[in-house]
Structure 1
């Protein structure tokens, strides 16, 4: 279980799904590669307590970055995504909610599809297409207005907003 605190103090409780990870990384800020876009200023996406949040142009996808939270010192993130409602359901062990995954979480032990039992994400700032937000070891690139690629220490994923498909890598 991972607790995600919001700006208003609301908590998101998230649970498991599929494990995998991996992604390319550029160490030169401001230079776009196939895996990363032009770096944006993390301060523009900060919402307090070290947390950062963004949404894509589509408004249907966005992520919380939590590089260092009091109840979980390891970097982790949650990305709300419009995943197919026809995917097999997973069960939230805290609430017994049985539903198709609607989010991806990157935690120290891997990358998983999850059910976001708390509902929608905070919209945050727009991450423009071709831009990358990096906070500590966490990073997401807006590939276009509805697709993204994100990575953390334990893995990565790529979401194709045109097909609502996600690929998770080790």
Structure 2
């Protein structure tokens, strides 16, 4: 995958160690952290540094493709990408700081990421049942519900929370929001 992906409003780029403070600040908001399975609370800069180092180590192995999402004039506003699951599949995920919710940034960034991802292999995603906004973003970008709902441990909440599972399949020639999604 490319190191930089650009949209009309956003720039997706590799995370850097100097992003750790901003990541910790945005993910340290309990409203954000509770929607991310692996975000601890409190979210300290050392945790962000560890996350960024882990991603950097796994990228050359083809196991993680995660980007910082920058907004012109604001800098980093979130992150988006995919982690390898199993032998051939990937799980897509994203988070955005609360000041950037409801402005279409997640849909714009995920659409660009999916277009650049090409042939990563089967893509899945999910969202906690109490985060329907994330489900709407996933649906708009071509994901469909599989019917599976399973518990997923949330570090920030300190307990398992039900997660709705989704799957993506791109149909050639379709644009963002018009992709054919299948629940295979």
Q: Same fold (TM over 0.5)?
A: no
Specify which structure has the higher proportion of strand.
Answer: 1
Specify which structure has the higher proportion of helix.
Answer: 2
Larger relative contact order, structure 1 or 2 (CA cutoff 8 Å, min sep 6):
1
TM-score normalised over the length of structure 2: 0.27
